[in-house]
Amino acid sequence: MKYRKIMGGRIKGTRERGAWAEMYFMVLAMSYGLKVSSPYGGFAPYDVGVDDGSGPILRVQVKCTLYQCSTGSYCMSINQKDGMKGRRGYAPGTVDFFAIYIIPTDDWYILPYALIGDRDANVYFKPGFKKQKYGEYREAWDLLVDAARQKDDGPIDIQACGEQDESEEDTSRSTEVKARAGSRSMVGQTVRPTVRQMFRTLFRE
């Protein structure tokens, strides 16, 4: 785990680091039995397509950050370029999930689009703290797995509860979802460390 964040810190260019995070996200998603794809040319509003072969293709925008503000939180701006206007949020129907990678702490946050919406947002993360706003979405790969299993018979309805207070305990996720997360296949748990080691080797000097 510690090598993952070390390699991310070695990549100095923001575009190169972003490409590294996208690749790492794809490898981890595959370790959960998901199929991944990347839109040709990089012109789509999302970075990675995720599916399990039977449900819809989920559009995931991958972002990573090294920046830690004075309060101890890690800050991530969720927006995109809007020509001469500056920056803007992501329009409905263009993204299903945001995958945010905090490089220094080696944490992934899987955020449903409904949590952010179309606003130009700055979000803050405190990995390791129980009383953090987005704590329930830390390493929440089960959200992707569950959404990918839905049949494509209408709009994807992904529930989010991001309006909870910062001081509330991390208890809003249902017992059922937590149970599913805890029952991930032993195959994935066995393969995942091997995949991580393989990926780190690609960037080893």
pLDDT number for residue 117: 92
Whole-number Å distance between alpha carbons of 38 and 19: 11
Report the alpha-carbon angle 37-9-76, nearest 5: 65
Residue-wise pLDDT for 110-131, tens only, equals 999 999 999 888 899 988 887 8
Residue 185 has φ and ψ, to the nearest 5°, of -60, 145
Smallest Cα–Cα separation from 99: which of 11, 22, 170? 22
Residue-wise pLDDT for 70-104, tens only, equals 888 999 989 887 766 778 899 999 999 999 999 88
Q: What is the pTM of this model?
A: 0.73
Residue-wise pLDDT for 145-164, tens only, equals 999 986 545 555 555 555 54
Token pair, residue 178, equals: 């937590």
* Containing structural domain, residue 35: 2-202
Whole-number Å distance between alpha carbons of 160 and 94: 17
Domain CATH number, residue 175: 3.40.1350.10
- CA 117 vs CA 78, 113, 114, 150, 159: distances in Å: 10, 6, 5, 21, 12
For the chain, the domain total comes to 1
Residue-wise pLDDT for 25-79, tens only, equals 999 999 899 999 999 877 888 999 999 988 899 999 999 988 888 888 999 989 8
